[in-house]
């Protein structure tokens, strides 16, 4: 019953956007983009902050008209930056933290745009990467760990900024081809060709990238940093093949195939391998 209602709801929205496109294509495209880029989950409030984040030293950074939140578990001079994905927040790292803390490292987690305690209604990778760059300049992490779209943001960040201070990166369950994600959204709402073309134009105008080039596979090909990529064969959110695409072009990377962890990739054995990868030379 719920699936039927959800199907009817999404198709009704798509029908309205398609109708609006004949009257005002710009407004229809903007509405379609807003629905696509605005997360519906992952927000936090200070009054109900998860316990794991209350144990940290929190800090708010401002950039232009937006602000974003970071959380720090203080340790030694080795710094790790954690970057969550879509409809999540910094608390998603709770299960991995004990393994990282064993190293004595300082660990920093960030709330992405429109997530956690950060401001905004829109999530996009270039803005997220800008936030990461501000944090990298402030805290100078040697290690970068990203999950899902946070992982793709890490790939985008390092391919664009080429930061030599980043020694190793861990990418968990990240998508490669952005066009697949957008096409799935268009298909789900049954949006017409006017909206489809309008969305592609929007990304080209605002982010100066063609969708074909907004690819984790292409980003990875430009990265010289040593990397570890993990993806689960049973991931139904981001297909296993997406992780293989990223690994295929990242010259100095290790690919780990997991089974049964799904998209979240929470697992003791995986976390042990991540720790071994990060601290093998320590």
Q: Phi and psi at residue 164, in whole multiples of 5°?
A: -70, -20
pLDDT of residue 4: 67
67 and 143, same domain (yes or no):
yes
183/173 same-domain check = no
Q: Do both 78 and 162 map to the same domain?
A: yes
Query: Same structural domain for residues 200 and 268?
Result: no
Low-confidence ranges of the chain (pLDDT < 50): none
Last residue of a domain, one of 208, 225, 250: 208
pTM assigned to the model: 0.93
63 close to 132: Cβ distance less than 8 angstroms: no
Amino acid 27: pLDDT? 95
Shared-domain flag, residues 22 and 120 = no
Q: What is the pLDDT of residue 118?
A: 98
Tell me which of 208, 228, 262 is where a domain ends: 208
pLDDT tens digits for range 140-191: 999 999 999 999 999 999 999 999 999 999 999 999 998 888 988 999 899 9
CATH code of the domain covering residue 117: 3.40.50.1820
Q: What is the pLDDT of residues 256-279, one digit of tens each?
A: 999 999 999 999 999 999 999 999
The domain containing residue 156 runs over which residues?
A: 44-177+215-279
* Shared domain check, 64 and 145: yes
Domain shared by 240 and 116, yes or no: yes
What are the helix (H) ranges across the chain?
2-23, 25-37, 51-54, 97-101, 125-139, 149-161, 178-189, 193-207, 216-221, 240-249, 268-279
One domain for residues 188 and 245 = no
Indicate whether 240 and 108 sit together in one domain: yes
Do 82 and 194 lie in one domain? The reply is no
Structural domains counted in the chain: 2
Is residue 28 within 8 A of residue 194, CB to CB? The reply is yes
Do 59 and 90 sit in the same domain of this protein?
Answer: yes
248 token code pair: 């295929």
Query: What is the residue-wise DSSP string for 133-188?
Result: HHHHHHH--SEEEEETHHHHHHHHHHHHH--TT--EEEEES---BHHHHHHHHHHH
**Based on the domain organization, do 113 and 4 belong to the same domain?**
no
pLDDT at residue 10 in the model: 80
């Amino acid at each position: 019953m719920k699936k039927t209602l959800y199907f009817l709801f999404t198709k009704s929205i798509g029908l309205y956007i398609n109708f609006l496109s004949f009257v005002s294509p710009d407004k229809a495209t903007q509405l379609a983009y807003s629905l696509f880029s605005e997360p519906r989950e992952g927000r936090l409030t200070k009054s109900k902050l998860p316990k794991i984040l209350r144990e940290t030293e929190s800090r708010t950074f401002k950039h232009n008209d937006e602000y974003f939140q970071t959380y720090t578990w203080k340790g030694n001079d080795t710094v790790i930056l954690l970057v969550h994905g879509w409809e999540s927040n910094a608390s998603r790292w709770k299960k991995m933290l004990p393994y990282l803390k064993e190293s004595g490292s300082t660990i920093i987690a960030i709330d992405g745009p429109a997530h956690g305690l950060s401001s905004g209604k829109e999530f996009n990778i270039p803005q997220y990467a800008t936030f990461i760059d501000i944090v990298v300049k402030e805290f100078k992490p040697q290690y970068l760990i990203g999950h899902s779209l946070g992982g793709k943001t890490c790939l985008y960040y390092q391919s664009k900024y080429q930061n030599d201070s980043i020694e190793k990166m861990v990418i968990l369950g990240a998508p490669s081809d952005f066009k697949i994600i957008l096409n799935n959204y268009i298909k789900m709402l049954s949006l017409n060709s006017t909206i489809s073309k309008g969305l592609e134009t929007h990304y080209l105008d605002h982010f100066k990238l063609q969708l074909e080039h907004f690819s984790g596979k292409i980003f990875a090909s430009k990265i010289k940093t040593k990397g570890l990529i993990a993806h689960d064969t049973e991931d139904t959110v981001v297909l296993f093949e997406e992780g293989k695409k990223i690994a295929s072009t990242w010259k100095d990377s290790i690919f780990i195939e997991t089974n049964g962890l799904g998209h979240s990739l929470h697992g003791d054995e995986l976390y042990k391998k991540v720790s071994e990868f990060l601290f093998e030379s320590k």
